[in-house]
A and B are shown apart, each in its own frame.
Chain A
Amino acid sequence: QTVVTQEPSFSVSPGGTVTLTCGLSSGSVSSDYYPTWYQQTPGQAPRTVIYSTNTRSSGVPDRFSGSILGNKAALTITGAQADDESDYYCVLYMGSGISVFGGGTKLTVL
């Protein structure tokens, strides 16, 4: 079974730029996987940040952007703020109505 891979953790300084990635254990991620990114803080339900590779969800600041970088999907935060400190999960569409979450990246802003 194909596994969706993410960095377990990442840190960024306030005001800095960070790129989180989402890959596959076998193969390359393209826009055909319609990558979606969710942000989750402790004790809360996730909220959508990016869907369909690079579309920001309603109300999401424009410092968040999505793209395909090489063979992975990417979520870039430009000008990170303290309240961006969260867990970030990508989801890839595998076809036949099925999606799979990645393991998540814990982002620390310090």
Chain B
Amino acid sequence: QVQLQESGPGLVKPSETLSLTCTVSGYSISSGYFWGWIRQSPGKGLEWIGTTHYSGGTYYSSSLKSRVTISADTSKNQFSLKLTSVTAADTAVYYCARRRGSTGAYWFDAWGQGTLVTVSS
């Protein structure tokens, strides 16, 4: 049974870079599937950030594309999120998840518990 766990600083200063890691257990990320990040601002809805494949294919939200990088490390069975130049608007619970499906028919079938990142000085 696949399990995902987010980790990283819970507090980031404005203008700095937010960095999170998702550690996957029970499944090798090099076996396939895309792996993604989703966030949820306090009291707000979910926002799709992007997905990555271990082979290098990566897709990003249009609104975050200029600031986000998602990458996979097969040696550690992890994937990561980096978001640059953060502001208070980036304060959110960040979830990592496994994406299944093909040709547009995608869904996230396994999720981490989420980690709250607050942007504040």
Contact = CB atoms under 8 A, between A and B. Distances in A.
Contact of A103 (B38, B45, B107): B45
A98 B59 contact: yes
B104 A32 contact: yes
B98 to A, nearest CB: 11
A9 interface: no
A48 B107 contact: yes
A46 B59 contact: no
B73 interface: no
B111 A99 contact: no
A96 B106 CA distance: 12
B95 interface: yes
Contacts, number: 68
Nearest to A40: B46
A104 B45 CA distance: 6
A102 B108 contact: no
Interface string A10-42: 000000000000000000000011101010100
Contacts of A46: 38, 46, 95, 108, 111
Interface of B: 38, 45-48, 51, 57, 59-63, 95, 97, 101, 104-109, 111-114
14 contacts: A34-B106, A36-B106, A38-B46, A48-B107, A52-B105, A57-B107, A57-B109, A87-B45, A93-B106, A95-B104, A100-B61, A101-B38, A101-B45, A103-B45
